[in-house]
Amino acid sequence: MPAGDVVTSDESGLIRNCISGDERSCRLFVQKYQRLVFAICLRILGQRQDAEDAAQDIFLRIFRALDRWEPGRPLKPWLTTIAVNRCRTLLKKRQSESSRVRSVREVIEFCSPAATAADLAMAEELELALSKLRREYRLCFELYYRDEYSCVEIAEILDRPVNTVKTWLHRARRELADLLSRRGIAEEEGYVSVAS
């Protein structure tokens, strides 16, 4: 388990206080995990307002379920599972399944502050290509590369076999490479081509 996934005694205390209804602890918990939850919502739902609404709903659901979290279990994948499942439900409720490409501004948020114009252009092209993938492939790709979850963790989050996750990642990389090459964009190491 990565060191960042180990729940510290401070976090365990924070969680106990949230379960007991301490408002200050609940606010601290939200502050600590709001970027993670919002980023997942934005990636899946694709629209900022929908992501903000979903994130609020997800935190309410997390607080209702917090007493069922197993203390020996890593917290971040558990939170991610709740967020992914809720966003999937919201997607099913949408009447129109039309996807939209994120605005350049939203793409820039995923880039580092020191990103060059070339990096931003590549990020924009990658986002455009990602928007054309099947939802499952895109979600696997983003959980693996952006959030740095392992295939085992992604399988748990998405409730799918590990081999399915590996297949989806392979197909996502292959389709991204194909989409980018058809647009005449040279593949750069680290964007699509990585070891399986």
Report the CATH number at residue 32: 1.10.1740.10
Percentage of the chain lying above the pLDDT 70 cut: 73
| Residue 58 pLDDT | 93
Q: Which of 58, 93, 128 is the last residue of a domain?
A: 93
Residue 82 lies in a domain: yes
pTM over 0.85, yes/no: no
| Residue 182 pLDDT | 77
Residue 182 and residue 132 in contact, taking contact as beta carbons nearer than 8 Å: no
In the predicted structure, residue 30 carries a pLDDT above the cut 90: yes
Least confident of 90-94, 117-121, 157-161: 117-121
**Which domain, by its residues, includes 18?**
3-93
DSSP, res 69: S
| Residue 26 pLDDT | 92
Residue 141 lies in a domain: yes
The predicted-structure confidence for 95-147, as pLDDT tens digits, reads as follows 443 333 344 444 444 544 455 566 666 777 778 888 888 988 988 888 888 88
Same domain (yes/no): 143, 82: no
Residue 126 lies in a domain: yes
CATH number at residue 141: 1.10.10.10
Q: Round to whole Å and give the CA distance between 106 and 39.
A: 10
| Residue 177 pLDDT | 81
Same domain (yes/no): 87, 114: no
Same domain (yes/no): 7, 89: yes
| Residue 145 pLDDT | 82
Residue 157 lies in a domain: yes
Residues 6 or more apart whose CB falls under 8 angstroms from that of 154 comprise 140, 143, 144, 165
| Residue 7 pLDDT | 53
Q: Which of 61, 93, 125 is the last residue of a domain?
A: 93
| Residue 99 pLDDT | 38
Residue 138 lies in a domain: yes
Same domain (yes/no): 74, 134: no
Residue 195 lies in a domain: no
Domain count across the chain: 2
| Residue 82 pLDDT | 92
CB-based burial of residue 105 (10 Å sphere; 0-12 exposed, 13-18 middle, 19+ buried)? exposed
Residues 6 or more apart whose CB falls under 8 angstroms from that of 144 comprise 151, 154, 169
